[in-house]
Structure 1
Amino acid sequence: MITAARSVSSEESSARTALKLGPKSIAERLRNLVLETSPTMPAIERYTGVLYDPLDAREADTATRAWWDRHIVVQSAMFGPVGAGDLIPAYRLSHDSRLPGLRLISHWPAPAGSALATRRDGLVLDLRSEGYRALGPAPGAVALRVVSVAGDGRRKALNHWNKTAKGRLVALLGRTGAAVSTMAELADWAAAHGVVIEQVDGSWELVAESLGPAAV
């Protein structure tokens, strides 16, 4: 994977297409040329954006970080499943990147699925987007659907902002040191903290408003 990413990143023209880079982000291709020598940091700090910002990982206390290190696995397009505390360098690669001679959707499922299986212990929540979920199957995991509930009770699945709700949920799980082994226990834990997680028509749903208005 690293070899293929380095090859496609060596020229602007190939990197622009394969990594979907625009004029302002084209320099990010250079990260892939120095993966084996560039500085590293814990994955939970490396990633940014609406999913990770609610964690405020660098300011989290020791107990919260320890909980995340034990429980969180991030699906990386470059490195496969990585733990929250695993040290990784900066890189540029997404689940839908197109590398010459190597399809991520074909390369990752077997080794990633095997790695996830070795970490499996009890309840597994799958909060990944569909694209990243395809890179590493996790049989038996529970996918949590994020919804917004209108005043008349109608439910609407959220798109971009579902990431904020998921980030806030993971932040709260870590800060409270949650110890749950079933979805029923998770729902009870959530209710005790003012969060709504419930089963609707056979699927588990997280109500975004229960984690704050900015999540909607």
Structure 2
Amino acid sequence: MKILFSPSETKNSGGEQKSFDKNSLIFGELFDKRLEIINSYNDFIKIASKEELEKLFGTKKADILQKYKTDIFKSSTMKAILRYEGVAYDYLQYANLEKKAQKYIDDNVLIFSNLFGVLKADDEIPDYKLKQGETFDDLKIEKFYSDNFSQALDEYLKDEDVLDLRAGFYEKFYTIKKPYLTMKFIKDGKVVSHFAKAYRGEILKLIAQNSINSFDELMNLEIKSLKVEEIKEQKLKKEIVYSIN
């Protein structure tokens, strides 16, 4: 089973003193296409005005603007699953998992970055800053990755059960073309959005700890504080609606 996951706008600093290359990222044969976006980003941040950087990075803090106005190819790299931090990643607690559960995540989780496109959880990436939905040079980044990486993803996922835990924005990077599963969380009859990130992280942790490999195994997984209210099916998508106790 493969799990599609969102990134986070906040990142952990540091890593190994080595640059990323085609061997650092999934779909090495498409590295040159990925470089088209990354080179454009790198060139843009070198010449962008303060106002342009504030918009691109989503912050006005001078120290952050300075930190990220650096050559991305000279930045240290770190596993994507460790690079990202935020609510979902806090609840996942990857660094505290047993090696077996970590390996499950490394092998089976795909993270959709708004700069790098699709990443495997153990891909090595630098620290970078790009606010969700922002762009540069008038590029349509999500369309670019959808156009250039979808065929490879279709092939990669063709024999797998697919659980889509992405936020809606990242569905633009890849449209799943086979039956797949999603999850929705409600409390007091209302859909929760921000705290849904916590449950996505918690569920991914449980999936990894139990080495879940199919939809059948997932449906039999007990999740504390969540109760299945209904299962909706629409075309290729099957959605489990959980109520939060």
Flag whether TM exceeds 0.5 (same fold): yes
- Secondary structure of the equivalent of 1:148? strand
Q: Which residue of structure 1 aligns with residue 82 of structure 2? A: 45
Q: Which residue of structure 2 aligns with residue 132 of structure 1? A: 170
Structure 2 unaligned spans of 5+: 1-36
Q: How far is the alpha carbon of 1:71 from its aligned partner?
A: 0.8
- Secondary structure of the equivalent of 2:73? coil
Please say if residues 148 and 208 of structure 1, whose CA atoms lie closer than 8 Å, have aligned partners that are also in contact: yes
Q: Which residue of structure 2 aligns with residue 159 of structure 1? A: 193
Q: Which residue of structure 2 aligns with residue 112 of structure 1? A: 149
Q: Which residue of structure 2 aligns with residue 66 of structure 1? A: 103
- Out of 132, 139, 142, the position equivalent to 2:180 is 142
Describe how 1:84-123 pairs up with structure 2 within 5 A: 84-120=121-157, 121-123=159-161
* Residue type of the alignment partner of 2:92: L
The alignment's C-alpha RMSD in Å is 2.3
What CA distance in whole angstroms lies between the structure 1 residues aligned with 2:58 and 2:138? Answer: 20
**Aligned CA distance change for structure 1 residues 116 and 138 (closer, same or farther; 3 Å):** same
What CA distance in whole angstroms lies between the structure 2 residues aligned with 1:74 and 1:107? Answer: 17
Please say if residues 187 and 197 of structure 1, whose CA atoms lie closer than 8 Å, have aligned partners that are also in contact: no
- Secondary structure of the equivalent of 1:186? helix
Q: Which residue of structure 2 aligns with residue 177 of structure 1? A: 211
Indicate yes or no: 2:44 matched with 1:8: yes
Q: How far is the alpha carbon of 1:8 from its aligned partner?
A: 2.9
* Residue type of the alignment partner of 1:104: I
What CA distance in whole angstroms lies between the structure 1 residues aligned with 2:64 and 2:156? Answer: 35
Please say if residues 28 and 92 of structure 1, whose CA atoms lie closer than 8 Å, have aligned partners that are also in contact: no
Which structure has more relative contact order (CA 8 Å, sep 6+)? It is 2
**Aligned CA distance change for structure 1 residues 137 and 201 (closer, same or farther; 3 Å):** closer
Equivalent pairs, count: 201
TM-score by length of 1: 0.82
Q: Which residue of structure 2 aligns with residue 200 of structure 1? A: 231
What CA distance in whole angstroms lies between the structure 2 residues aligned with 1:55 and 1:16? Answer: 30
- Out of 73, 83, 88, the position equivalent to 1:36 is 73
**Aligned CA distance change for structure 1 residues 198 and 72 (closer, same or farther; 3 Å):** farther
